[in-house]
Amino acid sequence: MKKIKAALINPPDENRIYTEVPSKVNIKSGILPPMGLLYVESYLNRHSNHEVILLDCPADEIDYPALRQRLAGFSPDVIGITGHTHNIADMLKTSELFKSINPEGKVVWGGAHASAFSEKSADFNTVDYVVYGEGEVTFKLLLDRIADSADPSDIKGLIYKQNGKPVKNPPADYIMNLDELPHPRREILDIKKYFYTVGSGQTASSFVSSRGCPYHCTFCSTPGKTFRCRSAKDVADEMEACKNQGIKELYFVDDTFNVDQKRVIEICREIINRKIDIQWNYRGRINLITQEQLELVEKAGCTRIQLGVETGTDEGMKILKKGIKTDQVRQVFKWLKKTKISSAAYFMIGCPHEKTKEDILKTIEFATEIDPDYVLFGILTPYPDTEIYEDGVKKGIVDPKIWDDFVTNPSKKFKPQVWTEFLTQEELEEMLDVAYKKFYGRPGYMFKRLLEIRSPGELWNKVKAGLNILK
Q: Give the domain ranges of the chain.
A: 5-168, 194-381+418-470
Nearest residue to 51 via CA among 83, 81, 82, 75: 75
Q: Residue 222 — pLDDT band, cuts 50, 70, 90?
A: confident
Tell me the pLDDT band of 445, cut-offs 50, 70 and 90: confident
pLDDT of residue 449: 67
- pLDDT (tens digit per residue) in 162-219: 999 999 999 999 999 999 999 999 999 999 999 887 667 789 999 999 999 999 999 9
Q: Which CATH superfamily is domain 194-381+418-470 in?
A: tm_1862 like domain (3.80.30.20)
Q: How confident is the model at residue 27 (pLDDT cuts 50, 70, 90)?
A: very low
pLDDT for 22 beyond 80: no
Say whether pLDDT at 465 is over 60: no
Mean pLDDT estimate for the chain:
92
pTM: 0.91
Residue 159 has pLDDT above 80, yes or no: yes
* pLDDT reported for residue 464: 53
| Mean pLDDT within 109-120 | 94
What angle in degrees, to the nearest 10, is found between the helix axes of 232-244 and 261-273?
A: 40
At 329-345, the pLDDT tens digits run: 999 999 999 999 999 99
- The reported pLDDT for the residue numbered 197 is 74
332: Cβ contacts below 8 Å, ≥ 6 apart: 286, 289, 307
Distance CA 181, CA 46 (A): 9
Q: With cut-offs at 50, 70 and 90, classify the pLDDT of residue 468.
A: low
Q: What percent of the chain has pLDDT over 90?
A: 84
pLDDT band with cut points at 50, 70 and 90 for residue 456: low
Q: How far is CA 47 from the centre of its chain?
A: 26
Phi and psi at 251, nearest 5°, equal -110, 105
Interatomic CA distance for residues 375 and 344, integer angstroms: 5
Q: Is residue 349 over pLDDT 80?
A: yes
Of the pLDDT bands very low, low, confident and very high (cuts 50, 70, 90), residue 255 is: very high
pLDDT of residue 412: 82
According to CATH, the superfamily of the domain at 5-168 is Cobalamin-binding domain (3.40.50.280)
